[in-house]
Structure 1
Amino acid sequence: MFFSIIIPVYNRPQEIKELLASLVQQTYKDFEVIIVEDGSVFPCEEAITIFSNDLNIQYFSISNVGQGFARNFGMERANGDYFVLFDSDCIIPSRYLEVLKKAIVERNLDAHGGPDAADKDFSSFQKAINYSMTSFLTTGGIRGKMKDPSKYQARGYNMGLSKKAFEATKGFIDPNRAEDIELSIRLKKLGFKLELVEEAYVYHKRRNTWESFLVQSFSFGQNRVHVSKFHPEAIKLVHVMPSLFLVGWVLTLLSFLTGKSPFTWGAGLYGIWLLLVFLDASVKEKSVAVGALSVCTSFGQLSAYGLGLITALLRKKMSGKS
């Protein structure tokens, strides 16, 4: 067996149905599915039985340990040579495993990460969130389009590693705080070859509300600082940019309130950026509504991430002094 697909799940029975339905459609069939119920109040076992005749499924129910450790639990019980990790809110294109195996063999990969995308039937809000998290205008393209695929840091919703790499690293060392980024960096330091496989994308059907999206973005900023405790080089200029974005618009607003001259050019720069986001998202999604929502999600995401990074850095500095 070549692939073992590991899926941690927490109170998401409906999502599991959609994910498993997409796995049934895979053109490459040599795989097993391991679902780890991570202390759910609303288990998905009943949903899994629907697919028991179509998929080779192992199902485990454990006490809540967090998605990183739940993935470790699944990989420890996997039979495949290569472990593929998905989040429960993903839908997998039919040729995903076929494309991935080809990339692993041809590029001699020990691990990989793949991008996420929005399917055509996603809501306008889901498409706007996807845009704000993947566009060059918002994240610099670090979540899925890179000139050098070896610089990619895999995300847990769509990543994988060989059995050999798992045994060498012991998997994730944190349950749920950018544990995927930390593992990506550690794999490379140990000499394993991890690259972006751009064509191995998933449809990421996020169930965010406005509030949860901003909270999640804030936590992403904090988590980047958390990873820097293990790997000081983890924070690069691209990760600081959202904080500069936040400080910039706050200063622009203050200059307007106080009647200072920087308001004019500051507002102009942000206005140009917002217009570019609107036009780019509208064209890519062929929807003015998605373009308008993308302006809001992009502005909110960068601001929340920047605030999370700043607060975590301040907390880290304070704890260092104490």
Structure 2
Amino acid sequence: MFFSIIIPLYNRPQEIDELLSSLCFQTYQQFEVLVIDDGSAVPAKEIVEAYADKLDVHYHYKPNAGQGFARNFGFERAKGDYFVIFDSDCLIPEDYLEIVSSYLFTHQLDAYGGPDAAHESFTAVQKAISYGMTSVFTTGGIRGNKQHVGQFHPRSFNMGISAEVWRKTGGFILTRLGEDIEFSIRIHESGFKIGLIPGAKVFHKRRTSMLQFYKQIHFFGRARINIYKHFPAQLKPVHFFPALFTIGVGVLVLLNLFGAPLAHTGNVFLLVYFMLIFFHSLYLNHSFKVASLSIVSSFIQLTAYGLGFIQDFFKRLVFKQL
């Protein structure tokens, strides 16, 4: 099987350098790399072309249109039997393609997704953010896990599709705001088989600061409403949990301000919740600093998503604005 690795890029030259460097060590060598520079103000052509003697790599620059359409641009030019999508802020383990090719040979998936994890070289903030995105106490631990609610929807930081899926579906029809989940739903509805490849993990940097992380997760909360506009049945009770948590925190603040008796119970509950996060992260990361920051990242993960969800719930569903 020949793979086409497609990476949309926007103003992140350092990230693409690190990603391409990690791809040089793949134990499975039947692949090409297409870097789609989506109108960056800081083009990465020289960085990408420096790998021409190590990788079958192709650099394409196009006007900015968002990551979904940048991936379509790559699909149109890919030669592979199977297309693999990475975000530019990922590092790829050397056995990634070998694991994927072996799994696809025995399971014959039309599309797949894989988990993400924190690399040992990541900063404490990045490790805490990774915890916030994958913990059982925040997202339910279902990202990249065998156990998940309903259909499995691959995420575009680590996703693969067969060339046939591309030909039949036409790729992404959204370029932002939940474009990968919308695409996954259409792949399901087209009759293709989608699955998780548990061993096909990537090291996902995500954001380098808590403020950047907040903005990203707020965007994800809004994206859930955008997906609902296309597929109403995909809005599940579990998607309301961050919004309910956020409202609960707001109510707790008011209870404390007015000295209400219920405030004590709420404070104890929140303290216990944060202590569970701290000790769970400490067990996983073996770092008091990462464990402490995991409380912050987990709180941001829930409240940022909740606020984004609430914002577009009222804006687009209640007040019917575009």
Instruction: Tell me if TM exceeds 0.5.
Output: yes
In 2, the alpha carbon distance for the partners of 1:198 and 1:151 equals 16
**Which 5+ residue runs of structure 1 have no aligned equivalent?**
none
What does residue 64 of structure 1 align with? 64
The residue matched to 2:137 in structure 1 has which SS? helix
- Residue 213 of structure 1 and its aligned partner are, at CA, apart by 1.1
CA deviations 1:147-178 (Å, max 9, x no partner) are 25983211111101000011111000111111
Is 1:117 aligned with 2:117?
yes
- Contact map agreement 2:38 2:61 (CA 8 A) in 1: yes
The residue matched to 1:255 in structure 2 has which SS? helix
In 2, the alpha carbon distance for the partners of 1:113 and 1:22 equals 19
- Contact map agreement 1:10 1:39 (CA 8 A) in 2: yes
What does residue 285 of structure 2 align with? 285
Judged with a 3 Å threshold, the aligned counterparts in structure 2 of structure 1 residues 41 and 321 are, in CA distance, closer, same or farther, namely closer
Letter in structure 1 aligned against 2:122: F
- Residue 269 of structure 1 and its aligned partner are, at CA, apart by 1.2
What does residue 250 of structure 2 align with? 250
The residue matched to 1:264 in structure 2 has which SS? helix
CA deviations 1:189-237 (Å, max 9, x no partner) are 1111111112101001224322211111111000010011111122212
Runs of 4+ in 1 over 3 A off after TM superposition: 318-322
What does residue 31 of structure 2 align with? 31
The residue matched to 2:257 in structure 1 has which SS? helix
Percent of residue pairs identical? 45
In 2, the alpha carbon distance for the partners of 1:54 and 1:91 equals 17
In 1, the alpha carbon distance for the partners of 2:150 and 2:137 equals 22
In 2, the alpha carbon distance for the partners of 1:207 and 1:273 equals 24
Judged with a 3 Å threshold, the aligned counterparts in structure 2 of structure 1 residues 149 and 220 are, in CA distance, closer, same or farther, namely closer
Is 1:140 aligned with 2:140?
yes
What does residue 12 of structure 1 align with? 12
In 2, the alpha carbon distance for the partners of 1:321 and 1:18 equals 41
What does residue 174 of structure 1 align with? 174
In 2, the alpha carbon distance for the partners of 1:321 and 1:210 equals 30
In 1, the alpha carbon distance for the partners of 2:242 and 2:184 equals 22
- Contact map agreement 1:112 1:194 (CA 8 A) in 2: yes
CA deviations 1:110-159 (Å, max 9, x no partner) are 00111111001110000000000001111001211132598321111110
The residue matched to 1:161 in structure 2 has which SS? strand
Letter in structure 2 aligned against 1:56: D
Judged with a 3 Å threshold, the aligned counterparts in structure 2 of structure 1 residues 233 and 46 are, in CA distance, closer, same or farther, namely same
- Contact map agreement 1:222 1:309 (CA 8 A) in 2: yes
In 2, the alpha carbon distance for the partners of 1:203 and 1:178 equals 21
What does residue 223 of structure 1 align with? 223
Letter in structure 1 aligned against 2:171: G
- Contact map agreement 1:128 1:291 (CA 8 A) in 2: yes
- Contact map agreement 2:15 2:89 (CA 8 A) in 1: yes
Query: Which sits farther off after the overlay, 143-152 or 242-251?
Result: 143-152
Letter in structure 2 aligned against 1:239: H
Q: What TM-score do you get using the length of structure 1 for normalisation?
A: 0.97
What does residue 157 of structure 1 align with? 157
What does residue 79 of structure 1 align with? 79
- Contact map agreement 2:49 2:59 (CA 8 A) in 1: no
In 1, the alpha carbon distance for the partners of 2:214 and 2:158 equals 22
**Which 5+ residue runs of structure 2 have no aligned equivalent?**
none
- Contact map agreement 2:49 2:57 (CA 8 A) in 1: no
In 2, the alpha carbon distance for the partners of 1:161 and 1:289 equals 38
In 2, the alpha carbon distance for the partners of 1:293 and 1:239 equals 24
Is 1:274 aligned with 2:274?
yes
The residue matched to 1:160 in structure 2 has which SS? strand
The residue matched to 1:34 in structure 2 has which SS? strand
Query: Which sits farther off after the overlay, 252-261 or 98-107?
Result: 252-261
Aligned length: 322
